[in-house]
Amino acid sequence: QVQPVESGGGLVQAGGSLRLSCGASGRPFGSYAVGWFRQAPDKEREFVAAITWTGNTNYGDSAKGRFTISRDTAKNTVYLQMNSLKPEDTAVYYCAVSRSTYHSRPPTRSDAFVAWGQGTQLTVSS
């Protein structure tokens, strides 16, 4: 089973940028979609972005226009480039691998993802 591993979180000022990485241990991501979710204290887990193995993407409303998800198949890594960060982006960001393979649009529901990383903390200061 693919086990995603996140990295790249940290502390950044509002308006700044940061890139999160999601690597895979155990097996390659292959044809599975990879998604990013986030969870802030006392809030439900929220969909951020996802990408299929073909490069098709989907974004949550909070990410549109500011975040970009990409995939480097050779490195077996998925990235989340986050620009124009806001304090409300502060959360633990999780990478997840889909339960099934997707060719067109990747899923957005958390129950479509079966393997989750441990999460990486992003804190945006005002």
Separation of alpha carbons 42 and 31, rounded Å: 34
The whole-number pLDDT of residue 50 equals 98
The whole-number pLDDT of residue 124 equals 98
107 contacts 33 by C-beta, under 8 angstroms: yes
Average pLDDT, the chain: 96
82 contacts 89 by C-beta, under 8 angstroms: yes
Of 23, 14, 22, residue with least CA distance to 83: 14
With tokens 């200061």, the residue in question is 125
Tens-digit pLDDT profile for the chain (126 aa)? Answer: 789 999 999 999 999 999 999 999 888 999 999 999 999 999 999 999 999 999 999 999 999 999 999 999 999 999 999 999 999 999 999 999 999 998 889 999 999 999 999 999 999 999
Token duo for residue 59: 């974004």
